[in-house]
Structure 1
């Protein structure tokens, strides 16, 4: 047949669907045709006749693939389709094989979502991808499917990247389904692309159709192309859903977050959940009855400081539950309390253990106490610990006898393996630990200028007074304190019940109340006039009564915007709450009435704003991914702006106001600006030539009396700067992180926690699991405390106590032991 010519040309494709019994991809003479199965070319949907045959007429300017809509009684291999090359003629014949399942379709099963693998992104190579795949292979139960939601490669025009991806995925033990992302296009700058076919040839040759569907168990699974969701694909989706049984539950997988139009359309069906990637972060929200889930990259830290990893989705009939597995953590076991080498007071001492493995669930943890000084006089006694969240296990023991003790921890995982560790410590009858709250710490970094300077001074060495599970995961959110009570925002890991604001008694750690929110509270809350304010990633500003946790009012922060999220940490000053989501606004603290709203600060490409604004006099200063801005505090009028280029180094560091200068991590460099004009006064790289901040590590604070500022750089060092001229005064290095949280990095040293200053100490946490207390004049270590979970939260100081949160979801309180 002739080769078709012109955009209006049509290819006639005759095909047969057959039962591929031996799974060799070829129709053998004894393999029977399959009738009554839906088959599609991405435009039309046909049903195979009694001979298993079908006939398509395909316009060459739209699609190259023909694929069956696989019923639940057949296996779902990743590449069941036929690629149509129009150069082979205007009349072609194909055959597509399916294989019947050896057992009935499952009612209970697990799906793993991976996303944004980005082969050739930095140093993410074949070996490292296979390392991550092996963690998925370790899951028990094994996943029935793995769905990769786009950006398999970094450049779809480079065939070698596809070959690396496909080679790595051969290590996967579960069937793999791939969804196309923008980077997978041959040309993904749409403004420079002509037509449609030139953009997806490599994908369709090597991976499969751009959009498709299949049945698994009782569910219909719809896989979409987010970046060319044109009228042809829309029409196909409508046809596809019109042919499924009414009320059949639907799961949708796509690369980008769904638009409001897509959500409204899918809400007309029994759509249970939509899963996406693209933004390199985590976000969970509800839209009507749909759960809208966005997941972080498999192999490197997320833009919103989400840890690298993958999402598990557990299906049991109509029930869907979730878990986010932090990648790269192998049999991690740490005794938080009682810490090794410590001396502790007699009495009730908390036992806190962190135990985590990416691919293996921990089933139980037990603690055995040994009396080292009297090994024969005292019989060791054991107790099971109770689980709290994904990482932590809690207990307590009454240590009445003084002297040397040893606590042995034994972990049992689902594979039947045991992990062990121990801690040696001493009991001293002459001391005790008691929290005495003092000055309030009502907002992130204590005050409107983000100085992080405590009015109270604490003394070393510190010991754990209490630890309390907050009810959800905690990432960069930090505790705030008022009137002897502590408040913290929490994140989604398994369910929406984990999202909210938790209030604890700062003296004892006792849970006082917990208020639920519509989605995760990633940033720190703030307190003013008996109200705690918090902003959710779904775009809602909440006001809760500090005493009861009851909601006083809520206000939308652009919650109709569903395709990205960029929420500022709120600030409260003089009865007004300042917050925003891709814009900035002022709200009456008592009523929630919007007082003014600043125009959107250009297009917010990246999904989260880490920065908390600086408020001083009649000005508000804040940074975004597009620049540094000054607004009139009373009107919202823009006074000046300093634009930055849209690069991934253009981070949203929080600004600080110190010594008459506005200090900010600008484009990866510590920079001082004139607060009146925005003029650059000085800028400074770290002494190693590495940029402070690196890629969006929001770490900075100040020490006013010494004229010093502190910030982390992209090698995991905390650096002291002179506010006068940017001179580097000293530095301190942390260890490699327990998990990869820093954007685009893997197995890195990272400081995300903003340091605070109390007395002669500068204090911060690190993703290596330690809290560091440094002498701020020398930057030498005074004490370090091991939590054994990544710390992105910043400390709060009140009275004699240090309060901090960690990725394990716990809030920790430390104070110096005092004589009885």
Structure 2
């Protein structure tokens, strides 16, 4: 009997916990002195954790946790309507006998029904940066004026310097709003374990909090630059315990530095039997960064939301922006981007150079592009005067996009041949006001006609990307029409076919704005729209009466040019991330689309696959468009390489993964057996068939832009990140002239910050004039011989699309959603 008792003791005792029990209370710190005082409200049912175990506070606000082997913190799930200025966590220490959490009431941030907004930012990477207060103040000012429940940073603060500095830049106290951080791969740094420094500044790497009716969960990056002390099992066991206290009908939103799943299932676990199916926990959204891209897609019932960098251009040239996320009482999510650095910008886009167009109804279009980083526009109006006499006062315009508002101006017949002044005024939500004015000579009988000639079927007119128009335009150009399609327009340049202009639009919030639009080339009237599943971020093309486009999710569409009806579609074999940003091209009945191992040639008539690339993999977000010459298709992938595939068989003929050619946004221009391409800080001239580098010109300026070189008999001309438009002598490669531009309105070139003067577009030659748009919102006409600016038109929104020219008309778009038709004045 004694022997049996001894055996029993020896088997049971090791199961008894030897860890210290952690106790404390959660209360409302009414006098904000940091300690509990008698009479202060005690909070029940607040979740408290030690990183494994999760309990809830009793009626008297107290809790008791058993502790565990890897414990480092006691932390709470901050309940909705409260904030913790002195942190939602306490480091576990032998010196601490109790872990009390005093909360402040968070007022005016969440609606009565639980609806609320929050700010999402990612990948600020401030380890080697200066002047960070500029964008931080953008968020601070936005939060001060708009209802914001909290700010979430989803990682890559970056290395030791960044981790130490960022908390002073943004915290709950100085933002006057709860601020939470998750850990990214570059936040795992040298120490006893990868997250040691992060924890010492920002606390636990996984935790939860609540706002409105939503349970928010913050999870850590699985790995990174240094091995973390936590494991996937640690996170899983805590997550399981955390969600065990959450009603399965409660909406759940998860934050992580990266995306958990590329399909409809969001399962987090360690094996086939131990896992959490987040879909069964009413998962509404998964927000992440890591890829430096703006990309939203629906995966089953879950909205997967990637936000790029708010302080710099994204890897795939995504706009510098932070994201506003709106959550309704059911936990359903809508989002919108807010672009940084822009201070109360306003421009009348429809009037310039003392000219204005006239609509078919005889009215003058008034189109205004306006934006502020810190506050949405509340209203935009215009006032019209002639000879100091008001013709119209404070006429309200209608909002089309986040940038553009428009309406019409009716002038009396007595205004003919007289100067008309139009003043536009915007009132932002924060009460600030901005104004601008333009004037023109009213000539109602001077309506000009658009006369298209040769079709412009692809980016830069042909699959070799030569960018030289057969038609000549004489300056100055007259704005014949302007149409807003009610969606943002990015790198998708206009194409012209059969007197119709086609453009592709982006949808960075997944609200149904992505698609292909057809407009009458003569009047600008919208003829049809075909909705794509996601953004069309780059070039579209036309062949045999069909418009081809690919969206960010990797779907290829063939759309009848006349009717706008789908002829066929194909899901391309690309990875779930990064988003597809490459352009496509059509040549001799073949569509070249996709990227990486999903780059392929398709029969343009029926979509049947002709060949598929097996020679190179997908990059980090490529913005180039396939270019053809000498039976070779030249393409590439960001951060990987530049490649030449046999256009007929798909066989990889050559590749370059070094020499500065692995990271570039531009497409090449092919002339004869050579192609010209800019990359990094160099211009390359290369052999199409072999890929051999014939010549390399180091430029000493960054050309990581999407600008394809224009090659004439004497010059090589291209855009740059911060040195405007550059023209080199074709023989000597020495600079001939340079056209500076103004600072960009939005920053897109990778890792570029305020202020830079970026040109993402490709120059196009028509007669003796080179036309290009810039990120400063201006369309330029430059003399090809001298580089002198001879004409320009300010749009007030970045111009990311390369122009198209047909007959007597130039077509171009701006980011605000405007499509323009400019015609030569003396050709009517």
Whether TM exceeds 0.5 here: the answer is yes
For the structure 1 residues 28 and 764, does the alpha-carbon distance in structure 2 shift closer, same or farther, using more than 3 Å as the test? same
Do the aligned partners of 1:477 and 1:793 also contact (CA within 8 Å) in 2? yes
- CA deviation after TM superposition for structure 1 residue 117, in Å: 2.1
Deviations 1:771-812 (A, max 9, x none): 011111221112011111111111111111111111111111
In the other structure, the counterpart of 2:180 is 177
For the structure 1 residues 267 and 541, does the alpha-carbon distance in structure 2 shift closer, same or farther, using more than 3 Å as the test? farther
Aligned residue for 2:35, secondary structure, equals coil
Q: What are the equivalent positions in structure 2 for 1:711-750 lying under 5 Å apart?
A: 711-745=718-752, 746-750=754-758
In the other structure, the counterpart of 2:401 is 389
| 2:299 equivalent to 1:299 | no
Aligned residue for 2:159, secondary structure, equals coil
Q: Which residue, 112, 115, 119 being the options, matches 1:112?
A: 119
In the other structure, the counterpart of 2:155 is 150
Do the aligned partners of 2:74 and 2:89 also contact (CA within 8 Å) in 1? yes
Deviations 1:521-559 (A, max 9, x none): 101111112221111111211221212222222222235
In the other structure, the counterpart of 1:4 is none
Do the aligned partners of 2:486 and 2:817 also contact (CA within 8 Å) in 1? yes
Q: What are the equivalent positions in structure 2 for 1:466-485 lying under 5 Å apart?
A: 466-485=481-500
In the other structure, the counterpart of 1:459 is 474
- CA deviation after TM superposition for structure 1 residue 418, in Å: 3.3
In the other structure, the counterpart of 1:690 is 701
Q: What are the equivalent positions in structure 2 for 1:405-420 lying under 5 Å apart?
A: 405-420=420-435
In the other structure, the counterpart of 1:700 is 708
Q: Which residue, 26, 44, 50 being the options, matches 1:41?
A: 50
Q: Which residue, 277, 299, 321 being the options, matches 1:287?
A: 299
- CA deviation after TM superposition for structure 1 residue 579, in Å: 1.0
Matched residues in 2 for 1:806 and 1:790: separation? 6
Aligned residue for 1:553, secondary structure, equals strand
Q: Which moved more, 1:765-774 or 1:302-311?
A: 302-311
For the structure 1 residues 74 and 139, does the alpha-carbon distance in structure 2 shift closer, same or farther, using more than 3 Å as the test? closer
TM-score by length of 2: 0.89
In the other structure, the counterpart of 2:375 is 360
Q: What are the equivalent positions in structure 2 for 1:216-295 lying under 5 Å apart?
A: 216-228=211-223, 230-260=232-262, 263=266, 265-295=277-307
For the structure 1 residues 481 and 415, does the alpha-carbon distance in structure 2 shift closer, same or farther, using more than 3 Å as the test? same
| 2:336 equivalent to 1:323 | yes
For the structure 1 residues 656 and 775, does the alpha-carbon distance in structure 2 shift closer, same or farther, using more than 3 Å as the test? same
| 2:623 equivalent to 1:610 | yes
Matched residues in 1 for 2:443 and 2:405: separation? 25
In the other structure, the counterpart of 1:631 is 645
Matched residues in 1 for 2:114 and 2:454: separation? 56
For the structure 1 residues 480 and 10, does the alpha-carbon distance in structure 2 shift closer, same or farther, using more than 3 Å as the test? farther
Matched residues in 1 for 2:281 and 2:606: separation? 38
Do the aligned partners of 1:13 and 1:94 also contact (CA within 8 Å) in 2? no
Q: What are the equivalent positions in structure 2 for 1:786-801 lying under 5 Å apart?
A: 786-801=794-809
For the structure 1 residues 56 and 554, does the alpha-carbon distance in structure 2 shift closer, same or farther, using more than 3 Å as the test? farther
For the structure 1 residues 408 and 93, does the alpha-carbon distance in structure 2 shift closer, same or farther, using more than 3 Å as the test? closer
Do the aligned partners of 1:351 and 1:394 also contact (CA within 8 Å) in 2? yes
TM-score by length of 1: 0.89
Deviations 1:117-171 (A, max 9, x none): 222343343x33443333323543x2121111212x321476642454357x643
Q: What are the equivalent positions in structure 2 for 1:295-694 lying under 5 Å apart?
A: 295-318=307-330, 319-339=332-352, 341-342=354-355, 347-372=362-387, 375=388, 379-380=391-392, 383-399=395-411, 400=413, 401-428=416-443, 431-558=446-573, 561-583=575-597, 584-599=599-614, 601-602=616-617, 604=619, 606=620, 608-625=621-638, 626-644=640-658, 650-686=663-699, 689-691=700-702, 693=703
- CA deviation after TM superposition for structure 1 residue 272, in Å: 1.7
For the structure 1 residues 76 and 697, does the alpha-carbon distance in structure 2 shift closer, same or farther, using more than 3 Å as the test? same
Cα-Cα RMSD: 2.7
In the other structure, the counterpart of 1:57 is 67
Aligned residue for 1:225, secondary structure, equals coil
Aligned residue for 1:171, secondary structure, equals helix
Matched residues in 2 for 1:442 and 1:237: separation? 53
Q: Which residue, 24, 37, 40 being the options, matches 2:33?
A: 24
Q: What are the equivalent positions in structure 2 for 1:156-175 lying under 5 Å apart?
A: 156=160, 160-166=164-170, 170-175=173-178
Q: Which moved more, 1:116-125 or 1:650-659?
A: 116-125
In the other structure, the counterpart of 1:6 is none
Do the aligned partners of 1:119 and 1:164 also contact (CA within 8 Å) in 2? no
Aligned residue for 2:815, secondary structure, equals coil
In the other structure, the counterpart of 1:3 is none
For the structure 1 residues 37 and 365, does the alpha-carbon distance in structure 2 shift closer, same or farther, using more than 3 Å as the test? closer
In the other structure, the counterpart of 2:11 is none
For the structure 1 residues 102 and 363, does the alpha-carbon distance in structure 2 shift closer, same or farther, using more than 3 Å as the test? closer
- CA deviation after TM superposition for structure 1 residue 501, in Å: 1.2
Deviations 1:42-100 (A, max 9, x none): 2222334566121233223xx52221223336446582111225xx48x9643333456
Deviations 1:281-324 (A, max 9, x none): 20111111111111121222222222222111122323432221
Deviations 1:220-275 (A, max 9, x none): 11111123471321333233334321222122222123333763543343222221
Matched residues in 2 for 1:623 and 1:720: separation? 25
Do the aligned partners of 2:397 and 2:405 also contact (CA within 8 Å) in 1? yes
Aligned residue for 2:665, secondary structure, equals coil
Q: Which residue, 780, 805, 816 being the options, matches 2:813?
A: 805
For the structure 1 residues 45 and 633, does the alpha-carbon distance in structure 2 shift closer, same or farther, using more than 3 Å as the test? same
Matched residues in 2 for 1:164 and 1:80: separation? 17
Matched residues in 2 for 1:496 and 1:313: separation? 13
Deviations 1:712-765 (A, max 9, x none): 233232112344453333221111112222222222111111111111111110
Deviations 1:405-447 (A, max 9, x none): 2112222332344332221222246633221122111111110
Do the aligned partners of 2:710 and 2:762 also contact (CA within 8 Å) in 1? no
Aligned residue for 2:512, secondary structure, equals helix
- CA deviation after TM superposition for structure 1 residue 37, in Å: 3.1
Do the aligned partners of 1:338 and 1:349 also contact (CA within 8 Å) in 2? no
Matched residues in 2 for 1:157 and 1:275: separation? 25
Matched residues in 2 for 1:762 and 1:806: separation? 18
Matched residues in 1 for 2:254 and 2:85: separation? 18
Q: Which moved more, 1:344-353 or 1:754-763?
A: 344-353
Do the aligned partners of 1:82 and 1:94 also contact (CA within 8 Å) in 2? yes
Q: Which moved more, 1:71-80 or 1:352-361?
A: 71-80
For the structure 1 residues 160 and 208, does the alpha-carbon distance in structure 2 shift closer, same or farther, using more than 3 Å as the test? closer
Matched residues in 2 for 1:775 and 1:659: separation? 25
Matched residues in 1 for 2:105 and 2:776: separation? 49
In the other structure, the counterpart of 2:137 is 131
Matched residues in 2 for 1:344 and 1:36: separation? 65
Deviations 1:366-397 (A, max 9, x none): 2222112xx56x85555322221111121223
For the structure 1 residues 348 and 616, does the alpha-carbon distance in structure 2 shift closer, same or farther, using more than 3 Å as the test? same
Matched residues in 1 for 2:100 and 2:410: separation? 72
